[in-house]
Structure 1
Amino acid sequence: MTVEKVRLWDPVVRLCHWSLVIAFVGDYFLNEEGDGWHRWLGYYAVLIVLVRLAWGFVGPQSARWSDFWPTPTRVKGHLSALFSGEDHHRMGHSPLGALVMILMLCLMLGLGISGFLMEEVDYFWGEDLPRDIHEFMADSLLVLVCVHLAAALFESLRLRENLPLSMLSGNRRKR
């Protein structure tokens, strides 16, 4: 039996996704805070977030904010389906997945801004607030990344579909 696939994630969405993965893993686990690579990966991540933000208005339907914005009605419907054990299959982001994605993008942008402010510490008269905010956002993003990975694995098992593979290939099983 042949499974029909549809093109879901375009190359820009996948490039943004994997670029942010590399930037976050590189800065959180591999680079020292404040060194050149850390700083440049942070600038790169901000650029990628801005590209993804713009792509949400001009990209294909599955990349558009209007397609998956987590409205209260959409989130309530998704939670209701989860608690009742029903399938809530969408070709793109689920409402809860969209909420986590948006929070992760906001945290990446916030990390870039707070990291920049840390470089400009003279403006803050030696205050530690930008560093504290930066560290809090980085740790919060790590938690959300873990939630994102766990949810992708959970939904893959529940829906019997390899969701992480679709972010590599761009294709998803047609329902």
Structure 2
Amino acid sequence: MPRASLRLWDPLVRLFHASLAGVFVANYFFNEAGGDWHVWLGYYAVAWLGVRLVWGFIGPRSARWADFWPTPTRLRAHVQALLARRPLHRLGHSPLGALVMLAMMLCILGIGVSGWAMQEVDALWGADWPLQIHETLANGLCALVAVHVLAALYESFLVRDNLPLSMVTGRRRALPDERGD
């Protein structure tokens, strides 16, 4: 008998994820650095960070910071489960996934601020440190994105569920204890 599915990711979280993923791919791989599209998509990404920050306090349970904040206890339990190669069944972000998500969000904020500074500081004082910070954070974000994708695939294998698909559909398979079985 197929398992029932639960609503997990609300439309705003899914649009946030798709928007930032799209901006990252466009700006890192396709748009000319400093070009109009690059700049405006950067502002768009930073605006989404602001929306997501607020949504973490007022959105549904799976979007709330309190639901997935990577506390030391949660992180320790997740690392122990990974080392034992046993699944950590949890709806929403895993503790390590939340940590990577927060790191990616901080990188995007830093990229946005340094991108703005490249235009403002460079024009005023001729400094090149904003460009160095911008490039370093963009490359760091690329590495975090790779970790994020690989970890989602690995966790999908462990929990025997398609986690990337749940971000597209907003639904995830219910676990036996979540259905009352």
Q: Is TM-score (shorter-chain normalized) higher than 0.5?
A: yes
Match of 1:151 in 2: 151
Where does the alignment leave 5 or more consecutive residues of structure 1 unmatched? Answer: none
* Aligned-residue offset at 1:2: 2.3
Identity of aligned residues (%): 57
* Aligned-residue offset at 1:127: 1.3
Aligned mates of 1:34, 1:111 — CA distance in 2: 12
- RMSD across aligned positions (CA): 0.7
Equivalences for residues 101-112 of structure 1 within 5 A: 101-112=101-112
Runs of 4+ in 1 over 3 A off after TM superposition: none
* Aligned-residue offset at 1:122: 2.8
The residue type equivalent to 2:109 in the other structure is L
* Aligned-residue offset at 1:86: 2.1
User: Please, what TM-score do these two structures have when normalized by structure 1?
Assistant: 0.98
Q: What is the aligned residue count?
A: 174
Deviations 1:136-168 (A, max 9, x none): 000000000000000011111121110000000
Match of 1:119 in 2: 119
Aligned mates of 1:7, 1:167 — CA distance in 2: 11
Deviations 1:92-148 (A, max 9, x none): 10000000000001111111110000011133x211100000000000000000000
Indicate if the aligned counterparts of 2:85 and 2:158 stay in contact, CA closer than 8 A.
no
User: Please, what TM-score do these two structures have when normalized by structure 2?
Assistant: 0.94
Equivalences for residues 70-85 of structure 1 within 5 A: 70-85=70-85
The residue type equivalent to 1:51 in the other structure is V
Aligned mates of 2:89, 2:3 — CA distance in 1: 16
Match of 1:58 in 2: 58
SS for the counterpart of 2:86 is coil
The residue type equivalent to 2:98 in the other structure is A
Match of 2:11 in 1: 11
SS for the counterpart of 2:6 is strand
The residue type equivalent to 2:123 in the other structure is D
Q: Is 1:142 the counterpart of 2:142 in the alignment?
A: yes
Aligned mates of 1:167, 1:62 — CA distance in 2: 12
The residue type equivalent to 2:53 in the other structure is L
